[in-house]
Amino acid sequence: MKVYINGEFFDSADAKISVFDHGLLYGDGVFEGIRVYEGCVFKLDEHLERLEMSAKAIMLKIPLPRSDLSEAVCDSCRQNKLVDGYVRLVVTRGIGDLGLSPKLCETPQIIIIADRIQLYPDSYYTNGMKIVTVATWRNNPAALPPMIKSLNYLNNIMAKMDAQNAGYVEALMLNDRGCVAECTGDNVFILFKGVVYTTPTSAGNLKGITREVAFNIAKEMDIPLKEVELTRYDLWNAEECFLTGTAAEVVPVTEIDGREIGDGKPGTTTLRFIEAFRKKVSIEGTML
């Protein structure tokens, strides 16, 4: 596998960064996870826009214009003959010293890894998955805004560990008001009485690219969709539930905190969303 670092490609064994990079020392940087389907880099421009917005929020200047960054992503896929897979695009603050200040980090580093990924087994998409609420809260937006896709994912990792220790693969995270935020890497949607609901980004969740695709699908299907703060009670009593994310795609949830959702099977509306999503992924993006 070839890994892109600052304009050059290296064999994976030789792809290295400095131990003084503030991305490693302090999680100081931003990233995007991007999917490739049948030679189409899905929603590449939207991902690059979000990367730029995350970088601006932490005052990190990306050293390439969007057009060059887009070409670097596509070239990484070509170098690895990747027509179906996953791209991890990382921008770190760069090499500095052992202090917190980023002022000595003169040159941000761009790293692109193009490989394959399967977040959940196929059975979850046909039978649904079970999730559990965990004790780890989502970061308060006043501390580290979850809208920033930063390299500091420890909050999510701790929630993931909570879920795994309880025997589940995915965690439902609440915000400091006790309302639903998101899962460790996925946005949450429910269906109740013909309306699809999801939490607003102000609740402490990421403005997901796949989340936006779900908004478009709802509009195309003429299904009402509302952004409202949700509680666990709302989720427990939902008729359907599904998660969205770049790696997860659209995955049905059939049990939350031991409560069966609907009839315990993926709902018909959820299955329609999955079908519509899969039709979009190889045509809405940038062709290699």
User: Can you give the three-state secondary structure of 88-100, one letter per residue?
Assistant: EEEEECCECCCCC
Give the C-alpha separation, 202 to 181, whole Å: 9
Catalytic amino acids?
149
N-to-C CA span, the chain: 18
Tokens of 146: 């979850």
Nearest to 51 by CA among 12, 91, 20, 22: 91
CA distances from 232 to 158, 173, 186, 214 (A): 20, 10, 16, 21
Alpha helices for 113-231 (secondary structure H):
122-127, 154-165, 209-220
Kindly give the pairing relationship between strand 195-198 and strand 225-227.
Answer: parallel
Angle 78-80-83 from CA coordinates, rounded to 5° = 65
Please provide residue 65's backbone torsions phi and psi, each rounded to the nearest 5 degrees: -70, 165
Strand partners of residue 36: 41, 85
Contact between residue 285 and residue 40 where contact means Cβ atoms under 8 Å apart: yes
Give the C-alpha separation, 19 to 23, whole Å: 9
